[in-house]
Amino acid sequence: MATHAEGTKSGSHRGGGVTPAPLRDPDTVMRLPRLGAMHPSRLSFLRNLIRRMGREQWRIGCPRFDVGTDECGEAVYTVDTPQGRYSFVVFAQLIPEAARTDRVIAERWDYTFALTEGEPDAAHMARLRANVPRQEAGRVTSRELVLARGNKSVRLFDHMVAQLAAGRQPAIAEVTEVGYLMRTTAVYGNGKFGLADYARLRDGTPFHRPFAAQMLAVYLARLFSLDLVDHLAWRHGGSAATRLSAPLRRAVGVGNATGLGMAPFIVSHPELMHAWVNARETAIARVKGVPRAQRPRVRHFRALLERAIAHADQWWTADAAQHAAICALRRELREIAGSLFPARGADPLAGAYPWRAFAERVMRGGFSLETQELMHSLILEPYPDLADDLADTMAADETARVHAAEPLRAVIARIESGYAWALRIDPDDPAEAHYFWYRAVEKEEPRLGTRHGDPGAAREMPIGVGHAVARLHRELAALSAAELARPVGEFLMHRPEHRALIARIQTLSAKPYAEVRDNLLHRDMRPVDLLRFKLAFFGAVRFDPKSDRWTRITLFSGAPLPADFADPRIDCDDSFAPTWPATP
């Protein structure tokens, strides 16, 4: 069921008479395997942030960097924006290897961070020093926007310091095997532990777009990791030391370990999910509505397709399933490049509505989900004029509410139109309720249990929306016509356990991209697919699943350095499908 892009409601989009194509069917887009193959795009949050930093010429300084050769100490970075100054405060300590874990239940970390308003004075630093290294066990204030932590990637970090101290660049092979010097293991915002509420950031700050503050914190964590290796190299090597080369500084990103903690967010914020996906799909629909592809844009597309091939060639994981997917991606990208840009013969992109034809070929031509979604991200790259404004549509208020006067039969109608996907679920099939989601006592970490094997099902989190809708539909369908004519409010007086779900159905049935259209309790469900969906919107690359429940990824690989923003020779928004330099 295709729907028209929002752009059509206000007529043709600006720029060359573009009439957006219909949006892709949510029954196609919102299936878990496809979400688990999603790739970043120019609408990813880190790209949105980078563009803003460049457009507004944010200035990043480092008034304090006090880290000793024991890798312990503090640093402060400042960021000057048109809305004011922010500071990124780092506390560094070297923890024993045995204490170093990516799990959210960790108690110690090599680095802890806070992004705060203004520049901290001595009293503010003292308060941060007493609380930030304790993370969840401490308290911060609404002056702090982000609380985060990370651990160093020991092998690469130590190799890099040793090489730089000796006046040499690190071996490319060592760098590319890991890709980052530090891995963040949690980046908190939105009011947790006393942090500023997101609502506070929506007016008068540069962080009104989703996760903008968190992305800035991660960008600065990356910068710190790069500065730290240079600093330690100098401390160890003195005048013999050299700095990490600019190409490598840009290529190195920040790692992140993401587990199930991210999954409930996707279900708890459906209107936000709809806003994110709708923005991407609308951008895709606009590009598909381009009547003729201009040659410079085709050249840009071709250059990025070649880069995507190199990116895929450099993408490595030990996970067998993901490795197979990457191998297929490599093969298919070459096939696509060969067919789009043959040495002789027809030019497939020279015809009418070339991107629509290309997208349809990719969707129907037997290509893997990885290839399909990478190509849908790639076609956006040559068209910033059609995509980038949609970044301002990616925030959303969560407004789920009961429509009490609506007759109960209207709820059935909403389910059968907006939640028809849930009616594929058989509530009596044990496989369909194999899992339950819960929060563990240990740091309230979200976990997955098996219903008839693990304790805790009585405290199940309401993640299995599809399964719950299927059960509700069955219950409502058994009611008489007279009962179904009565208002929802009366039903809920006697059945309060359905209140949240009916509010959700009544609110979201008109938001087609709000729900993951698969059963999140099913035996065959892969939680890592949920994680990748959200991480792709962050801008993460090089997914490296470590199990079906957690993955490592890299952020800001290929992103500009602070000095790049003022250099007119550098395109700061050119980090799609980042690749490693051939030489340092």
Stretch that binds other proteins, among 308-316, 356-364, 548-556, 560-568 (CB under 8 A): 548-556
3-class DSSP state of 468:
helix
Stretch that binds other proteins, among 69-77, 91-99, 208-216, 434-442 (CB under 8 A): 434-442
Region class of 457: left (phi > 0), else alpha (psi between -120 and 50), else beta = alpha
Closest to other proteins by CB, 195 vs 277, is 195
Q: What is the DSSP string of 552-572?
A: EEEESTTPPPGGGGG-TTS-T
Q: Which of 28, 57, 142, 417 binds other proteins (CB under 8 A)?
A: 142
Closest to other proteins by CB, 296 vs 496, is 496
Stretch that binds other proteins, among 73-81, 240-248, 491-499, 562-570 (CB under 8 A): 491-499
Closest CA to 446 of 565, 531, 562: 531
Q: In sequence order, what are the residues at sequence separation of 6 or more whose Cβ sits closer than 8 angstroms to the Cβ of residue 328?
A: 368, 370, 371
> Does the footprint of other proteins cover residue 323 (CB under 8 A)?
no
User: Shortest Cβ distance from residue 415 to other proteins (Å)?
Assistant: 17
Stretch that binds other proteins, among 107-115, 287-295, 323-331, 543-551 (CB under 8 A): 543-551
> Does the footprint of other proteins cover residue 455 (CB under 8 A)?
yes
Distances (CA, A) of 356 to 27, 240, 272, 287, 539: 19, 56, 27, 8, 24
Closest to other proteins by CB, 498 vs 532, is 498
User: Shortest Cβ distance from residue 101 to other proteins (Å)?
Assistant: 10
> Does the footprint of other proteins cover residue 127 (CB under 8 A)?
no
**Widest CA span in the chain:** 87
> Does the footprint of other proteins cover residue 431 (CB under 8 A)?
no
Beta bridge partner(s), residue 509: none
Stretch that binds other proteins, among 23-31, 205-213, 451-459, 563-571 (CB under 8 A): 451-459
User: Shortest Cβ distance from residue 509 to other proteins (Å)?
Assistant: 17
> Does the footprint of other proteins cover residue 533 (CB under 8 A)?
no
Q: How many CB atoms lie within 10 A of CB 445?
A: 15
Stretch that binds other proteins, among 372-380, 382-390, 411-419, 447-455 (CB under 8 A): 447-455
Beta bridge partner(s), residue 450: 435
Whole-angstrom Cα distance, residue 93 to residue 97?
A: 12
Whole-angstrom Cα distance, residue 309 to residue 332?
A: 9
> Does the footprint of other proteins cover residue 103 (CB under 8 A)?
yes
> Does the footprint of other proteins cover residue 77 (CB under 8 A)?
no
User: Shortest Cβ distance from residue 248 to other proteins (Å)?
Assistant: 31
Stretch that binds other proteins, among 136-144, 150-158, 217-225, 246-254 (CB under 8 A): 136-144
> Does the footprint of other proteins cover residue 497 (CB under 8 A)?
yes
User: Structure tokens of 491?
Assistant: 């039903």
User: Shortest Cβ distance from residue 455 to other proteins (Å)?
Assistant: 6
Q: Are 67 and 404 in contact (CB under 8 A)?
A: no
> Site size for other proteins, by CB under 8 A?
61
User: Shortest Cβ distance from residue 260 to other proteins (Å)?
Assistant: 6
Q: Are 358 and 340 in contact (CB under 8 A)?
A: yes
3-class DSSP state of 252:
coil
Sort strands 59-67 and 3-4 into parallel, antiparallel or unpaired: unpaired
User: Structure tokens of 120?
Assistant: 């901290």
> Does the footprint of other proteins cover residue 503 (CB under 8 A)?
yes
Q: Are 571 and 303 in contact (CB under 8 A)?
A: no
User: Shortest Cβ distance from residue 461 to other proteins (Å)?
Assistant: 8
> Does the footprint of other proteins cover residue 86 (CB under 8 A)?
no
Region class of 188: left (phi > 0), else alpha (psi between -120 and 50), else beta = beta
Whole-angstrom Cα distance, residue 98 to residue 361?
A: 51
> Does the footprint of other proteins cover residue 192 (CB under 8 A)?
yes
In angstroms and rounded to an integer, the radius of gyration of the C-alpha atoms of the chain is 25
> Does the footprint of other proteins cover residue 260 (CB under 8 A)?
yes
> Does the footprint of other proteins cover residue 9 (CB under 8 A)?
no
Whole-angstrom Cα distance, residue 257 to residue 12?
A: 42
User: Shortest Cβ distance from residue 525 to other proteins (Å)?
Assistant: 12
Closest to other proteins by CB, 346 vs 441, is 441
> Does the footprint of other proteins cover residue 494 (CB under 8 A)?
yes
Q: Are 178 and 156 in contact (CB under 8 A)?
A: yes
Q: Are 291 and 353 in contact (CB under 8 A)?
A: yes
Q: Which of 14, 424, 459, 474 binds other proteins (CB under 8 A)?
A: 459
> Does the footprint of other proteins cover residue 546 (CB under 8 A)?
yes
Amino acid at 155: R
Q: Which of 155, 401, 424, 452 binds other proteins (CB under 8 A)?
A: 401
Q: Which of 198, 207, 224, 421 binds other proteins (CB under 8 A)?
A: 198
Q: Which residues bind other proteins (CB under 8 A)?
A: 103, 139, 141-142, 190-200, 259-260, 319, 399, 401-405, 438-441, 444-449, 454-456, 459, 462, 487-490, 492-494, 496-503, 527-528, 546-550
